[in-house]
């Protein structure tokens, strides 16, 4: 393998070896604590603009298959950092190696990096921009490039990952057993209730869980006017997950504001943040974000603690919205706000990823809660 370098914006340098595509890439370096699910992580649109570091030591051992993707068009991450890449596929569903997947998609990967030291550095210093290169191996030159980069704060990354046209969705969550990726077949009768999904970077498993909860699903581009959505007269509206700074998605905030009080609304991750801003609240950026599948979150409605999948750098300051909403979920790692519901209107949202692709299934019931909210509103 060829040599590769990772240089952070504070001047920290990590040496490694290339195992993906050649070239250079710049992004915000974050770490993910999941032990598996690298294919779902790579294809999660919420990672647009970011370089992902996996804290678990070995990646690639089960290869890449045709089912476990969370979006069309290949990986959405800007780069991938691992401690040890295993160039073989020990799983019967594998169609190619992780390295092949990255090379075919033009994603730069670097292995043989001390990811424990890198993770501690990010945890202590905070997330920051970084550059990976397999071509320019001069640390000083790479440092100049990364500090000259404007960063991704204030950048609308949703426009890079949203769908460009409206479409229907029918596929449900995979059941245990051999998986067959087939074109979805419309049901003889549409499921009810109907839901419009604003695609800010929606993951397929969110759509699968909605289908499993009995919804008739239509996905629309992120910039679809609220007036057009209301003309479609859905029973509910979901604001999906997505990448980047919620404050930069001004059209999403504007449309969400027009939907409040008109239809039941459910927000997930970026959708939760957009909803918070539309309600007049504020958001703040975490020091190193929440990325992984092992975050304990207390559901204040049921009193239960759920292990959740997380992928976000921003949080809603729920107290900034005032007494119009109540807190429904709290992260037990750091006490941050993880969910809210309006005290009068049919509005609910969560910061974590209840579809858990990848991750635990503790929070999947939230999709049924959304359906119950819609039925009560009727």
- The pLDDT tens digits for 58-81 are 999 999 998 899 999 999 999 999
Q: How remote is the C-alpha of 68 from its chain's centroid?
A: 15
- Identify whether 249 is part of a domain: yes
One domain for residues 19 and 138: yes
Q: Which of 100, 119, 148 is the last residue of a domain?
A: 148
Which residues form the domain of 288? 158-377
Provide the percentage of residues in the chain whose pLDDT is more than 70: 96
User: Left, alpha or beta for 60 (phi > 0: left; psi -120 to 50: alpha)?
Assistant: left
One domain for residues 127 and 208: no
Q: What is the pLDDT of residue 4?
A: 98
- Identify whether 372 is part of a domain: yes
Q: Specify the pairing of strand 216-221 against strand 50-54.
A: unpaired
pLDDT category at 191 given cuts 50, 70, 90 is low
Q: Which of 94, 117, 148 is the last residue of a domain?
A: 148
Please give the Cα distance from 349 to 279 (Å, whole number).
12
One domain for residues 328 and 180: yes
Question: How far, in Å, are 81, 226, 239, 294, 312 from residue 206 at the CA level?
Answer: 26, 21, 11, 18, 16
- With beta carbons less than 8 A apart as the criterion, state whether 47 and 70 touch: no
User: How many domains would you assign to the chain?
Assistant: 2
In degrees and rounded to multiples of 5, residue 158 shows phi and psi of -60, -35
One domain for residues 34 and 179: no
One domain for residues 32 and 169: no
Taking residues 28-52, what's their average pLDDT?
97
Catalytic residues: 269, 353, 355
One domain for residues 164 and 246: yes
- Identify whether 231 is part of a domain: yes
One domain for residues 126 and 7: yes
Residue 178: is its pLDDT beyond 90?
no
Which letter, b or e, does each residue of 98-128 get, where b requires 16 or more Cβ atoms within 10 Å of its Cβ?
bbebbbebebbbbbbbebeebbebbeeeebb
Selection from 344, 336, 232, 330 nearest residue 279 by Cα = 344
- With beta carbons less than 8 A apart as the criterion, state whether 297 and 331 touch: yes
- Identify whether 153 is part of a domain: no
One domain for residues 50 and 9: yes
Taking residues 5-32, what's their average pLDDT?
98
Residue 185: is its pLDDT beyond 90?
no
One domain for residues 84 and 54: yes
Q: Which of 98, 123, 148 is the last residue of a domain?
A: 148
Counting runs of H as helices and runs of E as strands, what totals does the chain give?
9, 19
Q: How does the average pLDDT of the chain come out, rounded?
A: 94
Q: What is the pLDDT of residue 90?
A: 83
Residue 326: is its pLDDT beyond 80?
yes
Q: What is the pLDDT of residue 327?
A: 98
The CATH number assigned to the domain holding 347 equals: 3.40.50.880
The CATH number assigned to the domain holding 109 equals: 3.50.30.20
Please give the Cα distance from 71 to 4 (Å, whole number).
28
DSSP secondary structure string for all residues of 23-50? SEEEEEEEEE--SS-HHHHHT-GGGTTE
pLDDT category at 378 given cuts 50, 70, 90 is confident
Selection from 211, 212, 208, 328 nearest residue 267 by Cα = 328
Residue 187: is its pLDDT beyond 90?
no
Q: How many CB atoms lie within 10 A of CB 363?
A: 25
- Identify whether 357 is part of a domain: yes
One domain for residues 187 and 216: yes
Taking residues 269-291, what's their average pLDDT?
97
Residue-wise pLDDT tens digits, 119-172: 999 999 999 999 999 999 999 999 999 999 999 999 999 999 999 999 999 999
């Amino acid at each position: 393998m060829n040599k590769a370098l990772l240089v952070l914006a504070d001047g920290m340098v990590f040496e490694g070896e290339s195992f993906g595509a050649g070239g250079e890439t710049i992004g915000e370096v974050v770490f993910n604590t999941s032990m598996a699910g690298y294919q779902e992580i790579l294809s999660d649109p919420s990672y647009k603009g970011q370089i992902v570091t996996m804290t678990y030591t070995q990646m690639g051992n089960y290869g890449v298959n045709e089912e476990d993707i969370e979006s069309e068009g290949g990986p959405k991450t800007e780069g991938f950092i691992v401690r040890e890449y295993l160039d073989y596929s020990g799983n019967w569903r594998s169609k190619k190696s992780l390295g092949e997947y990255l090379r075919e998609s033009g994603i730069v990967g670097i292995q043989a990096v001390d990811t424990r030291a890198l993770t501690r550095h990010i945890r202590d210093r905070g997330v920051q921009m970084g550059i990976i290169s397999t071509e320019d191996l001069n640390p000083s030159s790479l440092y100049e490039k990364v500090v000259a980069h404007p960063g991704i704060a204030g950048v609308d990354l949703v426009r890079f990952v949203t769908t460009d046209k409206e479409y229907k969705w029918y596929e449900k969550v995979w059941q245990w057993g051999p998986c067959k990726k087939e074109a979805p077949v419309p049901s003889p009768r549409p499921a009810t209730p109907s839901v419009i999904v604003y695609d800010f970077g929606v993951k397929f498993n969110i759509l699968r869980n909605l289908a499993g909860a009995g919804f008739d699903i239509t996905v629309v581009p992120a910039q679809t006017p609220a007036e057009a959505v209301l003309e479609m007269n859905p029973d509910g509206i979901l604001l999906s997950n997505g990448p980047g700074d919620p404050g930069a998605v001004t059209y999403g905030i504007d449309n969400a504001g027009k939907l409040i009080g008109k239809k039941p609304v459910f927000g997930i991750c970026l959708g939760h943040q957009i909803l918070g801003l539309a309600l007049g609240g504020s958001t703040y950026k975490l020091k190193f974000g929440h990325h992984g599948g092992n975050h304990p979150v207390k559901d204040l409605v049921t009193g239960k603690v759920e292990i959740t999948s997380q992928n976000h750098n921003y949080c809603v300051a729920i107290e900034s919205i005032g007494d119009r909403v109540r807190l429904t979920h709290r992260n037990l790692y750091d006490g941050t706000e993880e969910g809210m519901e309006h005290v009068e209107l049919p509005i609910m949202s969560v910061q974590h990823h209840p579809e858990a692709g990848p991750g635990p299934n503790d929070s999947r019931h939230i999709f049924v809660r959304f359906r119950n909210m819609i039925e009560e509103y009727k």
